[in-house]
């Protein structure tokens, strides 16, 4: 997905939900801070989002321009309507949202996760594609190890999960250093 494609999804989703702010929690929120992110971080064709002021309308967005919809078939990308509790995030994440709003979004703002908050949500999800994403963030110098450790400390998790994620963060940065 490209930044202009994200802006298109924001514009269309806002119109469907009649909400001028959308929370973008998926991997494509990377495009707010890094509009020219490496292709390896833009591989997903879905934008996970929910209307900030009307989260109950996420399903309407999903049904209208979600996977398999005419919108998806026409453009090759789509919106995935999710709920506010879909991602586990560090305390204070809402204060760090990165705004995408311009002429292409037609007055609708996409409020995207800051890169470290996004990474923490991916570490917690722990699926192979999520862990590949966090490795790529580290490899491209888009995340800072110490910041990730601090954000992880601000996230409600059981001790075993926290320990596993800390080890994964360390491994990602060790691998990134070896590639230099």
Tokens representing 169 are 């963060």
- Mean pLDDT for 149-167 is 96
Between strands 78-81 and 46-51, the pairing is parallel
What pLDDT does 178 receive? Answer: 85
- Mean pLDDT for 21-45 is 96
- Mean pLDDT for 123-136 is 96
Q: 31 pLDDT exceeds 90?
A: yes
What does the mean pLDDT of the chain come to?
96
| CA separation, residue 130 to residues 18, 19, 70, 118, 124 (Å) | 31, 29, 27, 10, 9
| CA separation, residue 101 to residues 9, 45, 98, 119, 143 (Å) | 12, 20, 10, 23, 23
pLDDT band per the 50, 70, 90 thresholds, residue 150? very high
What pLDDT does 180 receive? Answer: 63
CB-facing half-sphere around the CA of 67: CA atoms within 13 A: 8
- Mean pLDDT for 65-85 is 97
Tokens representing 57 are 């309308």
Element (H, E) at 125: helix 115-125
Distance CA 149, CA 32 (A): 22
Helices (H), the chain: 3-17, 30-33, 58-65, 70-75, 115-125, 128-139, 145-153, 159-178
Distance CA 161, CA 152 (A): 10
Distance CA 85, CA 23 (A): 12
């Amino acid at each position: 997905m490209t930044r202009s494609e994200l802006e298109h999804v924001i514009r269309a989703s806002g119109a469907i939900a009649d909400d001028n702010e959308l929370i973008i929690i998926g991997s494509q929120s990377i495009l707010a801070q890094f509009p020219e992110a490496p292709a390896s971080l833009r591989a997903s064709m879905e934008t996970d989002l929910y209307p900030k002021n009307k989260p109950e309308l996420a399903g309407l967005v999903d049904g209208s321009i979600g996977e398999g919809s005419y919108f998806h078939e026409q453009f090759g990308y789509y919106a995935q309507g999710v709920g506010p509790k879909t991602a586990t995030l560090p305390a204070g994440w809402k204060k760090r949202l990165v705004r995408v709003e311009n002429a292409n979004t037609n007055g609708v703002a996409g409020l995207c996760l800051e890169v470290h908050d996004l990474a923490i949500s991916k570490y917690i999800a722990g699926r192979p594609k999520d862990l590949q994403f966090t490795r790529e963030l580290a490899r491209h110098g888009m995340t800072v190890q110490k910041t990730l450790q601090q954000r992880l400390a601000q996230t409600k998790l059981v001790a075993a999960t926290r320990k596993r994620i800390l080890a994964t963060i360390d491994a990602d940065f060790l691998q990134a250093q070896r590639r230099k």
